[in-house]
Amino acid sequence: MADTIFGKIARREIPADIVYETDEVLAFRDLNPQAPVHVLFIPKRTLATLNEATAQDAELLGKLLLAAADYAKREGFADEGYRTVVNCNEHGGQTVFHLHVHLLAGRRMHWPPG
């Protein structure tokens, strides 16, 4: 599958403001933040969209969400609250085709999203 900007970030070929890392997950600040805290959690291994995930990826998908929750606790905004979002394909608003979980925090979120 095609490489993306996030693949290059995962391989440290281009810079990013990395805030969290495990063996399989990397997180860095979004270039165009939509909240005071806006961090993207990606698997280091490339997976284009949620549609490509299989049962074999179940643990990895869980690790992405657990990483987001761990980061929220570490940073002290877990109790106040936050939002996690995975956009998929055109109608989901996905623009970078390397699966990622958005973590948004630091302001009150609205529902439904636009």
**What residues line the site for ligand 5GP (CB under 6 A)?**
5, 16, 28-32, 40, 87, 93-96
Nearer to ligand 5GP, 18 or 60 (CB): 18
Distance CA(91)–CA(2), nearest Å, equals: 20
Nearer to ligand 5GP, 29 or 83 (CB): 29
Nearer to ligand 5GP, 55 or 114 (CB): 114
Taking a C-beta distance cutoff of 8 angstroms, is the pair 102, 63 a contact? no
Distance CA(84)–CA(98), nearest Å, equals: 16
Catalytic pick among 91, 100, 102, 110: 100
Coil, strand or helix: which one is 47?
Answer: coil
Could you confirm whether 110 is annotated as catalytic?
no
Which residues are catalytic, by number? Answer: 100
